[in-house]
Amino acid sequence: MNWQWFHRLGSPRWFYQKTQAWLPWLAIASVVLLVTGAIWGLGFAPQDAKQGNSYRIIFIHVPAAVLALVGYYVMAISGAIGLIWRMKLPFVVMRAAAPIGAALTFVALFTGAVWGKPTWGTYWVWDARITSMLLLLLLYIGVIALGQAFLQERTADKACAILALVGTVNIPIIYKSVDWWNSLHQPATIKLTESSSIHPSMFYPLLVMVVGFYCFYAWSLILHTRQQILVRERKTRWVQQMVASGSTRLVEEGGKA
Amino acid sequence: MNFQFSSFAEFIEMAGHGPFVWAAYVVTLVTLIALIVLPSRGASRFIAQEKKRLDVAERRARAAATVATPETSG
Amino acid sequence: MHPVRKQRLILVLLLVTLSSAAIALITYALRQNIDFFYPPSKFAAEEVPHNVRVRAGGCVVPGSVFRSEESLAVRFSITDGVAQVPVKYTGILPDLFAEGEAAVVTGKLQSSGVFEAEQVLAKHDETYTPPEVQEAMVGDHTATCQGAGKAMASDY
């Protein structure tokens, strides 16, 4: 099997060059989708028969939680690829995914808390879903902290990857916690195998927001990765050339590379 | 599909749920903006810092060269 | 694939499998403690200790809610379809608390069999519908304790 394409993926410079053109499109897609979804969800979706307007938090709570979980797999799988193939780029992606995942987990927890008060009657309970989500936040913070604890980048990368991989067990636990145990949190609304238990007039804005959050995640991940690439590759000629030109844009000499 | 509220004040009020809903949206918005601004600013700052470092090193090298030249020539 | 990489792949898979197995065993051992509340059938089976702070959860039996006229005291029963637990509570109930909806109560089971609640939380289900649509499905109105029922069904 030809693995050349795969190893090219491991080149930070190739990544920096390739993603440059994607950034404006991802930015436009994210902003358009998120603004549309938010206005639709806040103002135009009908209110819920039981919860009234408080349910409008779902349009950010669910997408943030989905990306917090998906982002963990992004981080762990990048770490695994880095460990197995000893490539630079996957480790950078792994380290870049940690702060984004932590921020989105925080958003999911915070929006959940302010949604819980008007519906359940409390901001916080220690049920299986919420506690496992808090554990996810701690795992993300753990990866960030572990990455900063080592002087040597290679050692830090390996340690972070191992912690990220061990933590993957938490993801199915979070997802299934509401089915496996008695919890205050309700089961999933969007189901993969059966029809979702949300009216189409509320489902479409939610879908727009989920797609918007995916685009946003890609956008933010690429930005974080590019920043880390600059720092890690600062000794290379191509970064030095960018430093000399004073711009974060990589201009290929001789037009097309 | 219609706007669900009859006035802007009602939209903000959200039948009493306003503080919860708006708090959730504002905190999310601030977090998302930070997730874009921080890495972008970090990258430009890094480039600027490196450029400054490079310029200082260059100036020092040039200064050393101009100081060294008369000595060697004289 | 290069043999060294294959070996590292196996190591990574082993790491994930072993740690997952360890966590699975721990959560299995602690499954009773991870449950947020006891369903009423556990009360009926005398599995819930008396005079200890516990939580009970179930569907608020339609027609069982009696509010005191001079204070915030309220009486109601919760059920999981198997058994019922009578609950006493004094205080403000959450907005979503209603007959036919699920609730989780924290408090102590008295020797008399009455549950003295110090906190009542409303547990809502995962369905979202506009009011007009909700009114159109009148027949469904009382059968909204799916969330609670489902959690309990998985216990057996």
Q: Write out chain A residues lying below 8 Å of B34, CB-based.
A: 103
Q: Domain range for residue B62?
A: 48-74
Q: Is pLDDT of A67 > 80?
A: yes
* B57 is a domain residue: yes
A35 vs A45: CA distance, rounded Å: 14
Residue A197's pLDDT band (cuts 50, 70, 90): confident
Check if C100 contacts A (Cβ < 8 Å). no
Q: Give the nearest partner residue to A223 out of B3, B5, B36, using CB atoms.
A: B36
Q: Do A43 and B11 touch (CB under 8 A)?
A: yes
Asked if the Cβ–Cβ distance from A114 to B24 is below 8 Å, we say yes
Eight-class DSSP state of A194? S
Q: Which residues pair with C105 in a beta bridge?
A: C56, C120
Residues B21, A57: C-beta atoms closer than 8 Å: yes
Residue A136 neighbours by CB under 8 Å, 6+ apart:
A68, A69, A72, A101, A105, A167, A170, A171, A174
Please check whether residue A125 touches C, CB under 8 A.
yes
For residues A256 and A69, which has the higher predicted lDDT (pLDDT)?
A69
In a domain, residue B22? The reply is no
User: What's the pLDDT band for C142 if we cut at 50, 70, 90?
Assistant: very low
Residue in A1, A165, A198 nearest the CB of C12: A165
Instruction: Give the single-character DSSP code of A121.
Output: S
Q: Choose the closest CB to B21 out of A53, A99, A106.
A: A53
With CB atoms and an 8 Å threshold, state whether A44 touches B14.
Answer: no
* pLDDT above 80 for A3: no
Beta bridge partners of C117: C89, C107
Question: In terms of pLDDT, which residue wins out, B41 or C49?
Answer: B41
Q: Is the pLDDT of residue B71 over 80?
A: no
Task: Name the pLDDT band for C90 (thresholds 50, 70, 90).
Answer: very high
pLDDT-based confidence at residue A1 (cuts at 50, 70, 90)? low
* pLDDT on residue C139: 47
Cβ of A103 and B31 within 8 Å? yes
pLDDT at res. A255:
47
Q: How many helices (H) and strands (E) does chain B have?
A: 2, 0
Q: What is the pLDDT of residues C26-83, one digit of tens each?
A: 888 777 778 889 999 888 888 888 888 999 999 999 889 999 988 899 999 999 888 8
Pick from B34, B43, B54: CB nearest A230: B43
Structure tokens at A104: 């989105």
Q: Is residue A186 part of a domain?
A: yes
Residue A196 in domain: yes
| Mean local confidence (pLDDT), B29-49 | 96
Q: Using the beta-carbon criterion (under 8 Å), do B27 and A56 form an inter-chain contact?
A: no
Residue C12 has pLDDT above 50, yes or no: yes
Confidence (pLDDT) at A115? 95
Residue B74 lies in a domain: yes
Nearest to A189 by CA among A136, A115, A98, A105: A115
- Stretch A164-193: mean pLDDT: 89
Q: Does the structure show a pLDDT above 90 at C147?
A: no
Q: Is the Cβ–Cβ distance between A42 and B20 less than 8 Å? A: no
Q: What CATH number does domain C36-153 carry, 2.40.37.10, 1.20.140.70, 2.40.50.140, 3.40.640.10?
A: 2.40.50.140
Residues 6+ apart with CB under 8 A from C85: C40, C43, C56, C58, C77, C78, C79, C115
Report the number of distinct structural domains present in chain B.
1
Contact partners, residue A198, CB within 8 Å, separation at least 6: A189, A190, A206, C127, C128, C129
A254 within some domain: no
Identify the domain containing residue A238 by its residue range.
20-44+53-245
Q: What number is the average pLDDT over the span A23-33?
A: 97
- The C-alpha of A35 sits at a distance from chain B's nearest C-alpha, in angstroms, of 10
Instruction: Choose, out of C14, C37, C41, C126, the residue to mutate when testing the contact with A (most A CBs < 10 Å).
Output: C126
| CA B61 – CA B48 distance, rounded (Å) | 20
- At A219-253, the pLDDT tens digits run 999 999 999 999 999 999 999 999 988 888 988 75
B12: in domain:
no
3-class secondary-structure state, position A107: helix
Q: Which token pair is A85?
A: 């193939």
pLDDT tens digits along A128-152: 999 999 999 999 999 999 999 998 9
Most confident of A1-10, A96-105, B48-57: A96-105
pLDDT at C121 over 60: yes
**Do the beta carbons of residue C80 and residue A182 sit within 8 Å?**
no
Give, to the nearest 10 degrees, the angle between helix A153-167 and helix A58-85: 130
Query: Percent of chain A at pLDDT above 90?
Result: 78
Average pLDDT estimate for A81-109: 95
DSSP string, B10-37: HHHHGGGTHHHHHHHHHHHHHHHHHHHH
Give the residue on B whose Cα is nearest the Cα of A218: B36
Question: How far is the C-alpha of B48 from the C-alpha of B42, rounded, in Å?
Answer: 10
Q: Is A103 on the interface with B (CB under 8 A)?
A: yes
| Percent composition of chain C: helix, strand, coil (DSSP 3-state, to 5) | 35, 30, 35
Per-residue pLDDT band for C137 (boundaries 50, 70, 90) equals low
Residues of B with CB under 8 A from a CB of A: 1-5, 11, 14-18, 20-21, 23-25, 27-28, 31-32, 34-36, 39-40, 42-44, 46-48, 50-51, 54
Mean pLDDT score of chain C, rounded to an integer? 83
Domain count within chain A: 1
A80 and A165 in contact (C-beta within 8 Å)? yes
Would you say residue A9 has pLDDT above 50? yes
Average pLDDT, chain B: 89
